[in-house]
Structure 1
Amino acid sequence: MAPSSLLRTRRTLWAPFLALCLAASAALPLPAMAEALDDAIKAATLGDKSDLIDLLRRGVEVDSSDANGNTLLALAARQGNSELVALLLKARANPAIANRYGEDALLLAAYHGHLAVVKQLVLAGVDINRAKGWTPLGYAAFQGREEVADYLLDQGADVNVALDNGTTPLMLAARNGHLGLVKLLLEYKADTTLRNDAGLSAKDWALRAKNTDIADLIDQAGRQHKH
């Protein structure tokens, strides 16, 4: 089947569901809608696909969120539910919406190490290199999520991307004792000479946390880079 024909087929299959999701917003009175929203949040969190589809059809907005601003997509991503993530993306959920802490679905998936969901969101076009705040690679480095970090780096994540205070993924991994992650970042040529706004390098972070094996590894990488 030609790509254009396949695309038309997929649109035909999803058209009724999308139409219901987009056009049924006035289907329920306000008290019932509030209850339905609570049910949708629970369904996204618990991974109840059938309930979530039913609630979207009844008029719950696909980008609805909980009290902290976590959208249905973010809740599904945080739980690592790739099936629900696919469903919500097809229903045109906006993956760029962040919660009150600045976390979107990709950040939450990276933080919790859900590689399959990270891949879905990256393929959906979510930016992996952000100009401000935390990045997916930063979250992966902080938590020691090696598979997620490796994938992000392979997809073009900046190995030296820093937080607003200059803290790099290498510094985060060194501080938290994630030896495997440190090795991975060094393989991708992480800059060992960078310092954050407090003047601390990745080696300094490692020494402060008494991660001497990591400090030695960073020191060795720095010497090799000089030569």
Structure 2
Amino acid sequence: MLCLPTEKEHQTQEYSDTDLIDACEKGDLSRVKSILSDPGANINSMTKGRMTAVMIAAVAGHGEVFDLLVRKGADLSLLDNTDTSILHLACEGENIEIVKYVLTQNIVSINSRDDEGTTPIMTAASNGDNGVFEVLVEAGADLSLLNNNEDDILHLACEGENIEIIKYLLTQGNVDINRKLDGCTPVMEAALTKSKELFDFFVKEGADLSLLSDDKNNVLHLACFGGNVEIVKYVIAQNIFDINSQDAYGRTPAMIATHRDHKAVFRILIQKGANHKLVSMVKPIFKFPVYC
């Protein structure tokens, strides 16, 4: 004898897993509530990168959506396909309350690493997020660790360009202001990226301007590549380098300024005695890039 299907058997999933991910990414709280009310909804469904809905909410900084997913039982212990934890993602999302909550759950080590060796506080430093950085410091994050590329937290903080984070790191005594990474010190990187505020700060803190990169670029070479006129003027005024000094490939500061089309920098160099005749050598020499 055939039986009619029950009402429960007739139930189908009204929403797809991607609908939940999309709603969390957009921070659409009402839609997330609606999706989770569907008996077939999978709160821990994953994207191709193994990101769950709660991970998406954390990295987007959507606090209300994150809180709802937690109340509904979202698993905070999962990792994505790069071994990134919910704490890493919360730090990237820059929502302090989410970060604080995750820390209280003791699910993820505060010094956990993703597949690049990055810790949560490294993420906060490279983002320049002082609020999240301070929360992690107070919770005991280790500032002495290096990632797989041997970046220390000072070099990563330079990427974030948050002076308060950098000031704090220098007071702790576990970072070296003149440590080279990829051939350059922090003040060299500031000159290269034309960050005048960072450059001035490192000079004030005693950074050694006389050091050379691994390619024998001095800070004047790098400042000419960056193109910040004020940094170039300052370095020239220190009389540390011959204005026609050459790096490992024979490039002078004027050659670099010409290659980068930094006309104002080039004019200053010529005014200060740069040999413009050497600039004619720029084309064959510049098959080699300038970098740290």
Q: TM-score, normalised by structure 2?
A: 0.58
Amino acid paired to 2:95: D
Match of 2:179 in 1: 130
Structure 1 alignment gaps of length 5 or more:
1-30
Equivalent position of 2:215 in the other structure: 165
**One-letter code of the match for 2:258?**
L
**Structure 2: runs of 5 or more not aligned:** 1-74, 275-292
Match of 1:106 in 2: 154
Q: Given the alignment, which residue of 126, 141, 164 partners 1:116?
A: 164
Identity of aligned residues (%): 24
The 3 A distance-change label for structure 1 pair 108 and 187 is farther
Cα 1:54/1:69, change in 2 over 3 Å = same
Structure 2 CA distance for aligned equivalents of residues 86 and 161 of structure 1: 32
CA contact (8 A) 1:74 1:105 kept: yes
Indicate how the Cα distance of structure 1 residues 84 and 124 shifts in structure 2: closer, same or farther if over 3 A, else same: farther
In the comparison of the two structures, how many residue pairs are matched? Answer: 193
Q: CA deviation at 1:218?
A: 2.9
Counterpart of 1:45 (choices 60, 72, 92) is 92
The answer to whether residue 189 in structure 2 is matched with residue 142 in structure 1 is: no
Q: Choose from 228, 240, 256 the match for 1:205.
A: 256
> Does residue 146 of structure 2 align to residue 71 of structure 1?
no
Structure number with the bigger relative contact order (C-alpha 8 A, sep ≥ 6) is 1
Q: Shift of the alpha carbon at 1:147?
A: 0.6
Over residues 169-190 of structure 1, what are the superposed CA-to-partner deviations in whole Å (9 max), with x where a residue is unaligned? 3212202322222123334444
**Is contact 1:159–1:189 with CA below 8 Å preserved after alignment?**
no
1:178 to 228, 235, 247: 228
- Indicate which of 94, 97, 118 corresponds to 2:145: 97
Q: State the partner residue of 1:56.
A: 103
Q: CA 1:73 to 1:98, structure 2 compared with 1: closer, same or farther past 3 Å?
A: same
| Contact 2:85–2:108 (CA under 8 A) maintained in structure 1 | no
Residues in 2 aligned to 1:71 and 1:137: alpha-carbon distance in whole angstroms: 24
2-structure distance, mates of 1:129, 1:77:
18
Task: Give the aligned CA root-mean-square deviation in angstroms.
Answer: 2.6
The answer for the alignment partner of 1:152 in structure 2 is 202
TM-score normalised to the size of structure 1?
A: 0.72
Q: 1:41-82 deviations in whole A, cap 9, x for unaligned? A: 111111222332333341422222333222211111122111
Alpha-carbon distance in 2 for matches of 1:99, 1:221? 42
Counterpart code for 1:141: A
Letter in 2 for 1:38: S
How far apart are the structure 1 equivalents of 2:154 and 2:132?
A: 14
Structure of greater Rg: 2
Aligned partner of 1:28 in structure 2 is: none
One-letter amino acid matched to 1:130: R
Letter in 2 for 1:171: H
Greater helix proportion: 1
